[in-house]
Amino acid sequence: MADKKAFAALIQSGYDFKGDHFPIGVAMLDGELIPGSFINLPLKTMNRHGLIAGATGTGKTKTLQVISEGLSDASVPVMLMDIKGDLSGIAAPGVANEKITERCGKMGISYKPSAYPVELMSLSNEKGVRLRATVSEFGPILLSKMLDLNDTQEGLVAMLFKYCDDNKLPLLDLKDFTKVLQYVSNEGKADIEKAYGKIATTSTGTILRKVVELQQQGADVFFGEPSFEVNDLMRIADDGRGMISVLRVTDMQNRPKLFSTFMLSLLAELYATLPEEGDMDKPKLVLFIDEAHLVFQEASSALLQQIETVIKLIRSKGVGIFFCTQNPQDIPASVLSQLGLKVQHALRAFTAADRKTIKQAAENYPETTYYDVDDLITQMGIGEAFVTMLNEKGIPTPLVHTMMFPPKSRMDVLTEQEISSLVSGSKLVKKYAADIDSKSAYEILNDKLEQAGNKGADQPKPGAKQEKSTLEKVLDSQAARQVERTAASVITRSLLGALGLGGRSSKKNSWF
């Protein structure tokens, strides 16, 4: 039997932080709770990112919920990527039952149900705040990655963006981008090649087909205006708690490349928008990505490298990122090494490959004389996990078998009626609800082609004063000047030029 007094002293010294912190569970040894040995999370290191892993049904989502509640209570805004559609219940108070009462009694805590301030969001037409971005703001690099283009095709896309910037042709949605592709392949090819070089029709045809494929996946719904402003993710509720933004992306499971590119664009925009902060007492924002393997599934090596780079850099902006997945091996080693907090729920060994994976997972954690990690990792009960994190000095805390607190909010989804009630009272839903169809590349090029078609009938006499063309009139109009401001935002992509990422800090700090 291990020395429980020495173990309790180790936990006390390892998890008693000077700065602000909150508890997530109680330490266990030899299958028994150690009274008073609370496992705390320090807010100061929550921007060092984290991992929540474990087999299906072991309690990962509930742990994610508990940590989100603690952050909200500490006035830290949170964003949850809800892939499975089971996180909306955080907006409603939990309900005590026999199991919850028994667990809380063992841990020496009282159960206090509580609802949390929640904003429901969506990339599609589901109920909630509509998240959109314009194609111009998304940028040529990320758009090319999303379309899975080769280097030649990626160079052509970059040239098209430059052409649109130079000629004040805002790319607001995929309809605009498609129109530009068609224009440079036909009527405008000769003029464009004079200024920008040769254009291969085969390349434009390939890109056009891939854009159509992207549209068939439903990408049209989040390209357009108004663009979402990242500052709306970092709001504090009237009662002082951090707002929890639940982005429901249940329809992204079959589109992993679209989802991974979307995630990278969000991180890149946060990095471009937020000022450098250095060490903070608590983070500005914490993102939780459930089913995180979807971020990395089918992602190209270039995209993975960019994700790794942004994760390394974004913590200096006060943003923490937590990946929630079944197995730590789902996360690339280069990213896994950046994650300071690790919460490992039970893994199951059904095959020799499973046992090998478990052994590899156990090697990711600090050495300990109190546990046989390889063995215990397969035997932990539901709601139990191995926990280790970085203390205020950046040193890993002792690995500890922890019984996790139950969430104070509902451990189930909201009903349709509750969702409707929540959405109807949201100011952000109203702010982003209306589609804005500004005059952009599609309309401007159509006007230009129409003017060219009528040119023969309206040829001026030699020496006569020529009126402005339809295109010039459009470009001089107030509507065009308004749209020009949208196009001007692409200049901020240079903020992340060294990374090859999009990003914009102008246009109201909008996103993508």
pLDDT at 494: 40
Q: Is residue 1 part of a domain?
A: no
Q: Is residue 442 part of a domain?
A: yes
Query: Residue 35 above 80 pLDDT?
Result: yes
Comparing CA positions, the residue from 378, 376, 384 lying closest to residue 402 is: 384
The CA-atom distances, in angstroms, between 291 and each of 52, 64, 179, 294, 301 are 10, 12, 36, 6, 20
Pair 268, 384 in one domain? yes
Burial class from Cβ neighbours inside 10 Å (0-12, 13-18, 19+) for residue 371 reads buried
Pair 391, 301 in one domain? yes
> At what angle are helices 174-185 and 441-453 packed, to 10 degrees?
40
Pair 232, 312 in one domain? yes
CA atoms within 13 A on the CB side of 136: 31
Query: Residue 319 above 90 pLDDT?
Result: yes
Identity at 29, one-letter amino acid code: L
The vertex-132 CA angle with 129 and 137, nearest 5°, equals: 150
Pair 96, 194 in one domain? no
Query: Residue 500 above 70 pLDDT?
Result: no
DSSP H helix total and E strand total for the chain = 20, 12
Pair 238, 336 in one domain? yes
Q: Is residue 370 part of a domain?
A: yes
C-alpha–C-alpha distance, residues 123 and 76, integer Å = 23
Pair 110, 159 in one domain? no
pLDDT at 483: 42
Q: Which residues contact 231 (CB under 8 A, 6 or more apart)?
A: 273, 509
Pair 159, 306 in one domain? no
Average pLDDT over residues 303-329: 86
pLDDT at 479: 42
- Identify any residues that bridge with 286 across adjacent strands, giving them in sequence order: 78, 320
Q: Which of 81-85, 216-220, 255-259, 394-398 has the highest mean pLDDT?
A: 394-398
Q: Are 59 and 439 in contact (CB under 8 A)?
A: no
pLDDT tens digit string along 325-347?
988 888 888 888 889 999 999 99
Average pLDDT over residues 241-258: 81
Comparing CA positions, the residue from 176, 251, 181 lying closest to residue 210 is: 181
Q: Are 466 and 473 in contact (CB under 8 A)?
A: no
Query: Residue 30 above 50 pLDDT?
Result: yes
pLDDT tens digit string along 388-402?
999 988 899 999 999
445, two tokens? 């090029």
Pair 316, 414 in one domain? yes
CA atoms within 13 A on the CB side of 83: 20
Query: Residue 309 above 90 pLDDT?
Result: no
pLDDT at 337: 87
Pair 202, 89 in one domain? no
Return the CATH number at 271.
3.40.50.300
- CA 346 to chain centroid, in Å, comes to 26
Task: Work out whether strand 400-404 and strand 21-29 pair parallel, antiparallel, or are unpaired.
Answer: antiparallel
Q: Are 324 and 60 in contact (CB under 8 A)?
A: yes
- pLDDT confidence band for 454 (50 / 70 / 90): low
The total of structural domains in the chain comes to 2
Average pLDDT over residues 176-185: 90
485/146: higher pLDDT = 146
Q: Is residue 9 part of a domain?
A: no
Q: Is residue 146 part of a domain?
A: yes
487/116: higher pLDDT = 116
Comparing CA positions, the residue from 377, 282, 301 lying closest to residue 17 is: 282
C-alpha–C-alpha distance, residues 100 and 110, integer Å = 10
Pair 82, 118 in one domain? yes
Q: What are phi and psi of 37, to 5 degrees?
A: -90, 75
CA atoms within 13 A on the CB side of 499: 27
Cβ-defined contacts of 304-310 (< 8 Å, 24+) = 304/332, 304/334, 304/335, 306/264, 306/499, 306/500, 306/501, 307/260, 307/263, 307/264, 307/267, 307/335, 308/332, 308/334, 308/335, 308/338, 309/499, 310/264, 310/267, 310/268, 310/271, 310/499, 310/501
Average predicted confidence (pLDDT) for the chain: 83
DSSP labels, 155-193: HHHHHHHHHHHHTT----SHHHHHHHHHHHHTTTHHHHH
Burial class from Cβ neighbours inside 10 Å (0-12, 13-18, 19+) for residue 425 reads exposed
Q: Is residue 305 part of a domain?
A: yes
Q: Is residue 508 part of a domain?
A: no
Rg (CA), the chain: 26
Comparing CA positions, the residue from 144, 41, 65 lying closest to residue 411 is: 65
- pLDDT confidence band for 198 (50 / 70 / 90): confident
- Identify any residues that bridge with 386 across adjacent strands, giving them in sequence order: 344, 401
pLDDT at 456: 53
Pair 240, 163 in one domain? no
Q: Which of 212-216, 296-300, 422-426 has the highest mean pLDDT?
A: 422-426
What range does the domain containing 96 cover?
A: 19-132+224-431
C-alpha–C-alpha distance, residues 173 and 364, integer Å = 44
Pair 303, 243 in one domain? yes
Query: Residue 73 above 70 pLDDT?
Result: yes
Q: What are phi and psi of 381, to 5 degrees?
A: -80, 175
Q: Is residue 398 part of a domain?
A: yes
Q: Is 401 helix (H, G, I), strand (E, B) or coil?
A: strand
Largest CA-CA distance found in the chain, in angstroms, rounded: 104
